[in-house]
Amino acid sequence: MKLSLSAVEWNAGSWKFRADETFTPGVHLVSGRVGSGKTTLALLSARLLQPDAGAVEYEDIRSRTLSFQYPEYHITGSTLHEEAESYGVNPSAACARAGLAGRWDEDPFRLSRGELKLFQLSCLFMRQWDLLILDEPFSALDCRGKLAVCRSIGENRSGIVLVSTHEQHILPKTDYLWEMRTGKLTFRGPLPEAITAWESAPGPVRMLREQGVIPANLTRDDILEAVCRMHE
């Protein structure tokens, strides 16, 4: 199973997106500042955007989906029941998974953005995807919600999971690290080796790195374990 972006270019005025990389099964974390091109990467990878040059190629990818940053865009049903059915998942199970047990007859627009985001992600995580692209999956979520999403991402690592985020504190267990910098996609490598080369590393990771301590991965437990090592 492989997702290849072969010499891909996409232009928006003077801004240019460039990528020439391959994604294999596992969790790929794509970090980068706001406006660096993470959403463009997500759209191109999902083949929702046609590149101006190059090609986006799928190998043995039979199912793929993308979760937009704003969950409202995905709404097509007038109740959570209809909404869950539109994803082909069991409505009561989806509600329960999102912490909305028994609220299946509610209007999706009456939920807070955080609740809606968690519900939409829960629906996606209830299915198996060869290619799962999550654009800013942690936005609008509280700490508990972010940890729940991290757990679910970990359960889906048999396929290619692309997580683009600028989240600084709660991150999923990651196999490969990527960076988007002014439109250019750069592979930093597998974890934990990639951490030393991570230019836009979050504050806690930078602090640990400065102390000469490299966490085994990016989960909250890994960071806490590394903090303990710092005092050894």
Contacts to another protein by CB under 8 A: 43, 46, 48, 65-66, 68, 70, 72-78, 86-87, 109
DSSP 8-class letter at 110: G
Closest distance of CB 77 from another protein, Å: 7
Which residues lie closer than 8 Å to 155 by C-beta, 6 or more apart?
125
- Identity of the residue, 15 or 143, whose beta carbon is nearer to another protein in the bound complex: 15
Q: Which of 183, 171, 224, 196 is nearest to 27 (CA)?
A: 171
Closest distance of CB 74 from another protein, Å: 5
Structure tokens, 125:
């995580």
Q: DSSP for 45-60? A: HTTSS--SEEEEEEES
- Identity of the residue, 51 or 202, whose beta carbon is nearer to another protein in the bound complex: 51
Instruction: Tell me the three state secondary structure of residue 37.
Output: coil
Closest distance of CB 210 from another protein, Å: 38
Closest distance of CB 98 from another protein, Å: 17
Instruction: Tell me the three state secondary structure of residue 158.
Output: coil
- Identity of the residue, 64 or 188, whose beta carbon is nearer to another protein in the bound complex: 64
- Identity of the residue, 44 or 95, whose beta carbon is nearer to another protein in the bound complex: 44
